[in-house]
């Protein structure tokens, strides 16, 4: 016989416990909202894949997992309940305005507002050594890690805007940057290509793919095995860094129903971080924006949590007064047009 589905009631449910989710939890907990944080793995998000960070204000140099622990301890201190190894299958807005966040185990978390912070996933090359040397030479974020490669030789793989822009950025630190592309022309915009061609520190290697990251488990990456697809030549490039920019996938799969997004699939929000689904807030790497960093994820999440608090207050007021009139409902929903709607 099918077991009855467990339904748990919260004021707000947060999907994901990366920097955005944990910051949101800190603020909603502090606002005395009953907060559930559902995380498919363990708290930290991309921080758990980052060796050191040196660009988080107040922490000149900190280990990724150490920062993750600090974020989690801080959020729990304000009462947020963390559910680890609890993957979310879907977040659905029900006809009564509540969200049902269903876990992969079939449990339902019911709340008037939801903050989705499920981040994104950099697309990997899938070559031997890539995962082994991630954080020990292999990176997916130049802004984050370029400073660790001062006066070193690094390789960049990719051919789009990100690859060209980040290769150019890396030359501020690296002594030499090899830009490796599997075709004989870039997909990047002409202006970014021109920056690459004009930069004497960048050498483009065309028609070539990376085959293996070589290294020493103690000291890190030492080289990259390459294969030219035209000449069939194979060789070892001496490089201590590999930056992979072949795409990034936002983890939007949990959001049921239509929501506005940009061409890359990132969720569009208003300035209060509300998506086109009223009551569904989004923060961090999942959101369409210029850059993706710990500080921006936390900033988004601060706004999302405060806005969600105001949304929940209005929602409950509407429920208490049993108000169904169009102007009250529209006041609740129009708040996604401007943050001013919450004041
Ligand atoms: C290798 C690397 C190094 C970086 N270095 C730096 C740096 O030095 N400085 C810096 O500022 N930024 C750095 N960044 C960027 C920074 O880590 C991200 O911008 C930041 O982690 C984004 O936070 P987030 O919470 O939005 O997403 P994430 O950190 O991606 O967290 C998302 C969380 O959601 C969870 N999740 C996803 N789907 C589900 C689901 N269905 N159910 C439940 N949970 C789910 C994931 O498990 C994850 O824990 C780096 C990124 C990478 C990849």
Q: Is the pLDDT of residue 325 over 90?
A: no
Question: pLDDT per residue over 82-107, tens digit each?
Answer: 999 999 999 999 999 999 999 999 99
Confidence of residue 3 (pLDDT cuts 50, 70, 90): low
Question: pLDDT per residue over 115-135, tens digit each?
Answer: 999 999 889 999 999 999 998
Average pLDDT, the chain: 92
Question: pLDDT per residue over 288-320, tens digit each?
Answer: 998 889 999 999 999 999 999 999 999 999 888
Question: pLDDT per residue over 216-227, tens digit each?
Answer: 999 999 999 999
CA neighbor of 238 nearest in space, from 139, 164, 151, 152: 152
Mean pLDDT of 189-208: 96
- The pTM of this model reads 0.83
The predicted structure's pLDDT at residue 341: 43
Output the CA 66–ligand 1 centroid distance in Å. Answer: 15
| Alpha carbon distance 330, 343 (integer Å) | 15
Confidence of residue 339 (pLDDT cuts 50, 70, 90): very low
The predicted structure's pLDDT at residue 19: 98
For residue 209, give both structure tokens: 């793919």
Ligand 1 in reach of 16 Cβ (< 6 A): yes
Q: Is the pLDDT of residue 187 over 70?
A: yes
The predicted structure's pLDDT at residue 329: 64
Partners of 59 in the β-ladder = 56
The predicted structure's pLDDT at residue 144: 83
Output the CA 245–ligand 1 centroid distance in Å. Answer: 16
Ligand 1 in reach of 293 Cβ (< 6 A): yes
Atom of ligand 1 nearest to the CA of 38: 43
Question: pLDDT per residue over 32-55, tens digit each?
Answer: 999 999 999 999 999 987 778 889
**Ligand 1 test: best mutation among 141, 166, 266, most atoms within 8 Å of CB?**
141
Output the CA 293–ligand 1 centroid distance in Å. Answer: 9
The predicted structure's pLDDT at residue 330: 66
Q: What is the residue whose two structure tokens read 């499920």?
A: 118
Output the CA 65–ligand 1 centroid distance in Å. Answer: 12
**Ligand 1 test: best mutation among 57, 294, 304, most atoms within 8 Å of CB?**
294
Residues whose CB is less than 8 angstroms from the CB of residue 335 and which lie 6 or more positions away in sequence, other chains included:
272, 274, 278, 307, 310, 311, 314, 341, 342
The predicted structure's pLDDT at residue 258: 93
Mean pLDDT of 236-249: 95
Q: Which residue has the higher pLDDT, 294 or 326?
A: 294
């Amino acid at each position: 016989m099918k077991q009855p589905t467990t339904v748990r009631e919260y004021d707000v449910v947060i999907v994901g416990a990366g920097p955005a989710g944990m910051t949101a939890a800190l603020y909603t907990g502090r606002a005395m909202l009953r907060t559930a944080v559902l995380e498919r793995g363990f708290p930290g998000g991309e921080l758990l894949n980052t060796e050191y960070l040196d660009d988080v204000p107040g922490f000149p140099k900190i280990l990724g997992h150490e920062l993750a622990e600090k974020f989690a301890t801080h959020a729990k201190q304000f009462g947020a309940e963390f559910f680890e190894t609890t993957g979310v299958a879907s977040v659905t807005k029900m006809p009564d305005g509540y969200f049902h966040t269903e876990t992969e185990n079939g449990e339902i978390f019911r709340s008037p507002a939801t903050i989705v912070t499920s981040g994104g996933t950099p697309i990997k090359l899938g070559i031997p050594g890539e995962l082994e040397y991630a954080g020990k030479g292999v990176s997916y974020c130049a802004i984050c890690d370029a400073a660790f490669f001062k006066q070193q030789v690094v390789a960049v793989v990719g051919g789009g805007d990100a690859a060209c822009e980040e290769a150019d950025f890396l030359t501020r630190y690296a002594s030499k940057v090899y830009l490796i592309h599997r075709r004989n022309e870039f997909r990047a915009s002409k202006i970014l290509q021109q920056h690459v061609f004009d930069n004497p520190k960048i050498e483009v290697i065309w028609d070539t793919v990376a085959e293996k990251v070589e290294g020493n488990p103690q000291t890190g990456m030492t080289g990259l095995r390459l294969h030219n697809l035209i000449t069939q030549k194979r060789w070892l490039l001496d490089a201590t860094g590999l930056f992979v920019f072949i795409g990034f996938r936002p983890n939007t799969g949990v959001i049921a129903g239509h929501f506005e997004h940009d061409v890359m699939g990132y969720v569009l929000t208003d300035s209060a971080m509300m998506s086109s689904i009223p009551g569904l807030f989004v923060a961090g790497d999942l959101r369409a924006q210029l850059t993706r960093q710990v500080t921006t994820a936390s900033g988004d999440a601060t706004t999302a949590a405060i806005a969600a608090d105001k949304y929940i207050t209005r929602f409950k007021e509407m429920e208490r007064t049993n108000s169904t009139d169009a102007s009250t409902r529209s006041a609740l929903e129009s708040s996604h047009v401007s943050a001013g709607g919450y004041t």
